[in-house]
Amino acid sequence: MSTLRDLTAAQAIAEIESGALSSDEVFNAYREAAAGDTLNAYTWVADEAPTAAEGPLSGLPVALKDLFCTEGIPSQAGSRILEGYLPPYTAAVVEQLQAAGSRIVGKTNQDEFAMGSSTENSAYGLTLNPWSADHVPGGSSGGSAAAVAAGLAPWALGTDTGGSIRQPAALCGIVGLKPTYGTVSRYGMIAFASSLDQAGTFTRDVADAALLYGHMTARDPRDSTSIGHPEAIAIPTAERLDGVRLGVPEELTGDGIEPGVLAAFNASLKLAQELGAVVETCRLPHAPHALAAYYVLAPAEASSNLARFDGVRYGHRKPGDGTLLGMYTATREAGFGDEVKRRILIGTYALSSGYYDAYYGTAQKVRTKIADDFRDAFTRFDAIVSPTSPGVAFKLGEKTGDPLSMYLNDVCTVPASLAGLPGISIPNGLAAAPGGGPELPSGLQLIGPAFSENRLLEYAHALEHAIGFDGSGARA
């Protein structure tokens, strides 16, 4: 039976504009669904419908990854150290969506400070994959992905540092867009790794991604690295890929990709050819080193970004032995989870005296080479395609004991992050999990040159229709 929560955001807006549905009716349907959330996708849900600004988003609800600061609403970034933290201001991109008529329905669960690929590193409990309660939703924006997939929000915001939008979107069978670095303001996003963090969208389909993203881009004077998008974002309509050159990097489609995921990917490449695309193999020679560079750069920046959590101005505090040093160490020991500590330690080590050049300096150079690889590839190709994640959703607890195997989840998404390029993951059907069990969603990733979102969305739209994935199974 179809409900209003089966509508895409664009469809819901059309119904509201036509008068067939009221804005509050839509908001409350989602608000009630979110309040009854059994996946632990949400960490906070609105008590009532807030007043909406007049605007093209027609009062539609939006779910926000918890690390977006929202004035007077808990913004805990999945961390114990920020338990109950109420910011005195709202993130720039959230303000922008509110001004366009959007309303916050809830805050979603995430890996602590966006560090993780499974949403198992949250101080506020696990989030379950709506396709299978034994499986992770991916991460770090797992709450947003699960909420949208399960019909608990029409769309949601996430952030992507090394794959934190694209990977959970893939694992939950929805669309995840990580835009070009700098197109969306980071002001008010609780930082993980500043040179990589970028806000993006979770939507049911590609058209919704374009619609939501179009209201998020702007040059923000409060974020020095923000540049906005050089052109307006159009709602995609393409059904064909005639003459579009798609590069398939050997480095992201070989060993380590689960057979089921690879089969689904190859099937979609065939579809692309049928739509008129030219599909060829390409090389990103430094992509195999991207993960290593990423796991230097991101923890190094994080170790510094997380130094502000010191128990002085906000958040959790433990007195320790009563000295300043004791207060600092006790506060941070109790406030941070395992993975955050791990990354702070790696990052601190990589920046410490005598190691900077070997780690941070080298990783920055690898970053240059990876950007060069993409630049070379884009002289021959309009977009690069790969599986989004090497596997379908894994079982809860399966990888928590082995950090490196968890990190390998990001192998296909990290290269574009390092180069600051836009990437979109679209559902690529269901694939068999290696250990048996239910078939689970896998994702197809398209990567384009910087600021190529409009083209990328058109390609994604054409492929999405050809693949014809039905996501209603998660909204049962």
Partner 1 sequence: MLSRDQVLHVAVLARLALTDEEVDRYATELSGVLDHIETISALDLDDVKPTAHVVEVENALRPDVPHESLPLEVALAQAPLVADGGFQVPSPQAGG
Partner 2 sequence: MTDYEAVIGLEIHVQLRTNTKMFCSCALSFGEEPNTRTCPVCLGLPGSLPVANAGAVHYGLMIGLAVGSELAPRSIFHRKNYFYPDLPKGYQISQFDEPLCLGGNLGGVRIHRVHLEEDAAKLVHAGASGRIQSSRTSVVDFNRGGTPLAEIVTEPDIASAEQAGEFLRLLRTTLRTLGVSDVNMEEGSLRCDANISIRPVGATELGTKTELKNMNSFRFIERGIRAEIARQEAVVAAGGKVEQETLHFDPRSEAITSLRSKEQAHDYRYFPEPDLVPVAITQEMLDAAQAALPELPAAREARFVEDLSLSADAARQLSWRSEQGDFFESALSANPSAPARTTANWVIDLVARIDAEDPADGPVTPAALGRLVVLVEEKVVTGSGARQVLDRLITGGGDPDEIVEAEGLTAVGGDDTLAPIVAAALQANPDVVEKLRGGDMKPVGVIVGYVMKETKGRADGAEVTRLVRAQLGL
Residue 419 binds to partner 1 (criterion: CB under 8 A): yes
Among 12, 177, 191, 377, which residue sits at the site for partner 2 (rule: CB under 8 A)?
Answer: 191
Radius of gyration (Cα) for the chain, nearest Å?
A: 21
Residue 291 binds to partner 1 (criterion: CB under 8 A): yes
Q: Is 164 a catalytic residue?
A: yes
Q: What binding mask, one character per residue, do residues 233-272 give for partner 1 by CB under 8 A, x or -?
A: ----------------------------------------
Residue 362 binds to partner 2 (criterion: CB under 8 A): no
- Cis amide prior to 117 (ω within 30 degrees): no
53 interface partner picked from partner 2, partner 1, none, CB below 5 to 8 A per type: none
Residue 351 binds to partner 2 (criterion: CB under 8 A): yes
Residue 194 binds to partner 2 (criterion: CB under 8 A): yes
Pairing mode of beta strands 61-65, 440-447? unpaired
CA distance 244 to 221: 36
Please, which residues bridge with residue 245 across strands? Answer: 278
With beta carbons less than 8 A apart as the criterion, state whether 424 and 457 touch: yes
Pairing mode of beta strands 155-160, 278-282? unpaired
Please, which residues bridge with residue 220 across strands? Answer: none
Amino acid making up residue 352: S
State whether residue 270 is helix, strand or coil.
helix
Give min distance, CB of 406 to partner 1, in A. 10
In the set 23, 132, 141, 164, the catalytic residue is 164
**Nearer Cβ to partner 1 (268/413):** 413
Give min distance, CB of 323 to partner 2, in A. 9
The region, left, alpha or beta by phi > 0 then psi within -120 to 50, assigned to residue 256 is left
Residue 82 binds to partner 2 (criterion: CB under 8 A): yes
Question: Which residues, 181 to 200, sit near partner 1 by CB under 8 A?
Answer: 181-182, 195
**Nearer Cβ to partner 2 (42/187):** 187
Within a 10 A sphere around the Cβ of 380, how many other Cβ atoms? 11
Q: Is 386 a catalytic residue?
A: no
Q: Is the dihedral of CA 267, 268, 269, 270 positive or negative?
A: positive
CA distance 207 to 458: 9
What does residue 45 show for φ and ψ, rounded to 5 degrees? -130, 140
CA distances from 208 to 57, 73, 174, 177, 204 (A): 11, 26, 11, 10, 7
Nearest to 145 by CA among 134, 162, 159: 159
Among 353, 357, 404, 435, which residue sits at the site for partner 2 (rule: CB under 8 A)?
Answer: 353
Question: Which residues, 311 to 340, sit near partner 1 by CB under 8 A?
Answer: 311-317, 319-330, 332-333, 336
Q: E strands, 191-324, where?
A: 198-203, 245-249, 278-282
Residue 465 binds to partner 1 (criterion: CB under 8 A): no
Residue 88 binds to partner 2 (criterion: CB under 8 A): yes
Q: Is 268 a catalytic residue?
A: no
Nearest to 321 by CA among 331, 311, 313, 336: 331
Binding piece for partner 1, criterion CB under 8 A, among 47-55, 112-120, 271-279, 295-303: 295-303
- Sites of contact with partner 2 (CB under 8 A): 67-69, 75, 77, 82, 85, 87-89, 91, 186-191, 193-195, 221-225, 300-301, 303-304, 306-310, 312-314, 322, 324-325, 328, 348, 351-353, 356, 360
Which residues form the interface with partner 1 (CB under 8 A)? 85-86, 88, 181-182, 195, 221, 224-225, 227, 286, 289, 291-293, 295-296, 303, 307, 310-317, 319-330, 332-333, 336, 341-342, 344-346, 348-350, 352, 358-359, 361-369, 371, 403-404, 407, 418-420, 450
Q: Which residues are designated catalytic? A: 65, 140, 164
